[in-house]
Structure 1
């Protein structure tokens, strides 16, 4: 009788073991079907990763174990580490973390990370949910660029440039930071359209924008903003620059544009610009005032023969003017 009972007990234990193994296998299959990456993580490293986590990290599923998730992060490392630490302590973290990861193959993906505590044989373990939001962020960034850039030239648009200028103006005290505004206008732009056609005029605008943006990058005009604010009118914001440096920078811009050929189906031609400059004064109450002063200097540059840089005479104690030599 005892032998029968032992045999039945062994059969029951074997059945229980097989059931547990089967349950674990089914659970593993269910976790692999999740549309989000799942990592089970001790303080030392990963002890389980589902198929989506393997795909995200571009590491074979059997090789995910033993790695540390933070080693994959490119950004927000401190935030992710803090979120994991809170989960290890059993605290609920309601916020997710968006971060970039560098996969084993070197590509960068953007993920949303959610960490939560998970009971695991009495040991502190966290589960990390990884949602791949790379495509979503790409779309969001593209939509954002559309709202802040001029479609034709790739420069910032007027609204975005004025928002930047107003924020900087409002956040600094008069006299504490140099702040210059340059307004550029293509000379005889109507003549370009009439002679070569409107497509050539568009090419001139694109060429000017590309030339200035490349020059800004090359000369490292720190904190500068370049935007198209009208038909053939552009704006260059130059913070943290004294008057002499501003004039020199604008002359660099003028010369670069003058020397840049504009290649179109109608032929090759050159364009010049007139530039008006104003520097913030202690009495200026808003960015609009500085912009108006630069616009006034622009008209003086036009009246003086075009293709030159003029600084607003009221900006400085003594008038300064820089004209192009021909």
Structure 2
């Protein structure tokens, strides 16, 4: 009997334990709901794959709970960024400080492109190494920045680069060409009898003629690339009806060939505006980098003289200074 007295029902202790258990369950449910309401994507990730993703992360990754099982964050990173992101991902497991990834570009199935800022940090997690990955949607900020850059460096009417872009980047290319001993050419051209186009067909028709220059350039040239092949430079509108193209890695003969190709394409383009159909021509002045050139102005002066000579010699032609 004495031993039996040592065992008794602790109803109060049992109730407290049950209450504690229920409180933990409720807390986990509330925590899960709270995480799902976060405007920032959250992923709990072990070395091998994802353990948890909140609703915002699922939306950004264009996945659901079922399809996400067994996947790795790096599965969503493009090939050109994967090596760098893989190094940073591994670093996260070994550092106490947060690790910031480069901006990630995500392509969703609906055709929308998202830009995501990624930050990862190690979590104190018993039994396994775990990191949390935060995903912040910066698409709107990226688009606003792109639009601001476009307004800063592009001509609104034609879509070509503007004079500011031309001066800044052409000077950089000249410095590079001088340092490397590589060729560089400059082309300046304008539309012949442009005032007559405006007077005959109206200023809106003149605007259409300016837009045609960008169209012709896109169809007949390659965009500028700093490589070993010849390329056709970058079109900039530097005045009313005046355009320029700088040509890194292009010598005199290459510049002449490019200019002739663009000149012929402009001449054969038919402009249709309202009930009017008309054509335009353009005159070109070219020059190439010389040993005593030090800055862009040296080439612009020679190209302008060549352009003036093209006008004097009958227009719709190419002259080289």
TM-score with structure 1 length normalisation?
0.89
Report how far residue 117 of structure 1 moved: 0.9
Report how far residue 215 of structure 1 moved: 1.1
Paired positions, count: 312
State the partner residue of 1:113: 118
CA contact (8 A) 1:39 1:53 kept: yes
Q: 2:247 matched to 1:242? A: no
Q: 2:73 matched to 1:64? A: no
Report how far residue 16 of structure 1 moved: 2.8
2:23 to 5, 19, 38: 19
1:159 to 149, 161, 164: 164
Q: 2:186 matched to 1:170? A: no
Give, in whole Å, the separation in 2 of the partners of 1:265 and 1:11.
Answer: 86
State the partner residue of 2:137: 132
2:291 to 282, 293, 301: 282
State the partner residue of 1:319: none
State the partner residue of 2:237: 228
Report how far residue 20 of structure 1 moved: 1.6
Structure 2 gaps of 5+ residues are none
Report how far residue 310 of structure 1 moved: 0.6
Question: Any idea what SS the aligned residue of 2:151 has?
Answer: helix
CA contact (8 A) 1:175 1:282 kept: no
Give, in whole Å, the separation in 1 of the partners of 2:179 and 2:86.
Answer: 42
Report how far residue 214 of structure 1 moved: 2.0
Distance 1:2 1:309, change over 3 A: farther
Give, in whole Å, the separation in 1 of the partners of 2:129 and 2:121.
Answer: 11
Q: Which moved more, 1:129-138 or 1:96-105?
A: 96-105
Question: Any idea what SS the aligned residue of 1:120 has?
Answer: coil
Q: 2:299 matched to 1:299? A: no
Report how far residue 189 of structure 1 moved: 0.8
Report how far residue 154 of structure 1 moved: 0.7
State the partner residue of 1:324: none
State the partner residue of 1:318: none
CA contact (8 A) 2:106 2:115 kept: yes
Report how far residue 182 of structure 1 moved: 0.5
Q: Which moved more, 1:298-307 or 1:61-70?
A: 61-70
State the partner residue of 1:54: 58
Structure 1 gaps of 5+ residues are 313-326
Give, in whole Å, the separation in 2 of the partners of 1:170 and 1:88.
Answer: 44
Question: Any idea what SS the aligned residue of 2:97 has?
Answer: coil
Report how far residue 97 of structure 1 moved: 2.8
Q: Which moved more, 1:251-260 or 1:197-206?
A: 197-206
Q: 2:88 matched to 1:80? A: no
State the partner residue of 1:207: 212
Report how far residue 146 of structure 1 moved: 1.2
CA contact (8 A) 2:116 2:135 kept: yes
Report how far residue 14 of structure 1 moved: 3.3
